[in-house]
Amino acid sequence: MTLTAFGLNCTLKSGDAASSTQKLLDQLLDAMAGHGAETSSARVADFDVKPGVTADEGDGDQWPELRKRIMDAQILVVATPIWMGHPSSIAQRVLERLDAVLSEIDDDGVYPTFGKVAVAAVVGNEDGAHHVCAQLYQGLTDVGFTIPGGSPPYWVGEAMGSVDYKDLPKTPDKVAETIATIASNAVHLAGVLQAQPYPKPRR
């Protein structure tokens, strides 16, 4: 089975505006592609994602389109910038909309997201990368995703600095190493979970 990885860029920038978050997301997806995964991504700001906690909030809500791509993939990558020490408001909305998964747990206690892997990626010019990753991972595990071993890739520049990740002439070695490790582990874990799904919880 060919594994698929889908990335959500939670930058506040829409369209084709240059994005450090997109650069890190693309690097991570490229690394996964090197392990045989088919990859794609979307910039959430380009979609009309309504506030709410259901799968479809109606009235032009475009979350169902993104949700289908999430559910069709075996690996989800949530990439976000840091704003005031937290994930972007768009990343928070993604987590809120994923809350709908909790109403879809079947009678055996199986989440529709069981067997899917999630990875975070974070960039910013302020402290808080570990805190942001912790927030994302807590939310993603709450709705049934499995987190691979290894540090999530992140880059934090000088506080209030003028150099963004997208402006770096070379990817820092530690960031490159982290990307390589988490990409390998995510693809491997997704393959394991597809071959041997979680058992039904005992009731």
Judged against a pLDDT cut of 70, whether residue 171 lies above it is answered with yes
In a domain, 145, yes or no: yes
The band of 159, judged by pLDDT with boundaries at 50, 70 and 90, is confident
- Give the span between the Cα atoms of 58 and 50, in whole angstroms: 8
Residue 100 inside a domain? The answer is yes
Look at residue 202 and tell me if it is in a domain. no
| Residue 201 belongs to some domain of the structure | no
Sorting pLDDT into bands at 50, 70 and 90, what band is 127? Answer: confident
| 56: confidence class by pLDDT, cuts 50, 70, 90 | very high
Q: How far apart are CA 139 and CA 95, in angstroms?
A: 6
Residue 93, SS3? helix
Do the domain assignments include residue 190? yes
**Residue 181 predicted with pLDDT over 80:** yes
The total number of structural domains in the chain stands at 1
Token pair for 101: 């998964």
**What CATH code is carried by the domain that includes residue 128?**
3.40.50.360
Q: What is the mean pLDDT of the chain?
A: 95
Q: State the average pLDDT over residues 153-170.
A: 89
The helix or strand, by DSSP H or E, that contains position 87, with its residue range, turns out to be: strand 86-87
Q: What is the pLDDT of residues 93-123, one digit of tens each?
A: 999 999 999 999 999 999 999 999 999 999 9
Domain limits for position 41 = 4-195
pTM score, whole prediction = 0.95
pLDDT at residue 162 in the model: 79
- Indicate whether 200 belongs to any domain: no
Q: Is the pLDDT of residue 203 over 70?
A: no
* Per-state percent for the chain, helix, strand, coil, to nearest 5: 40, 15, 40
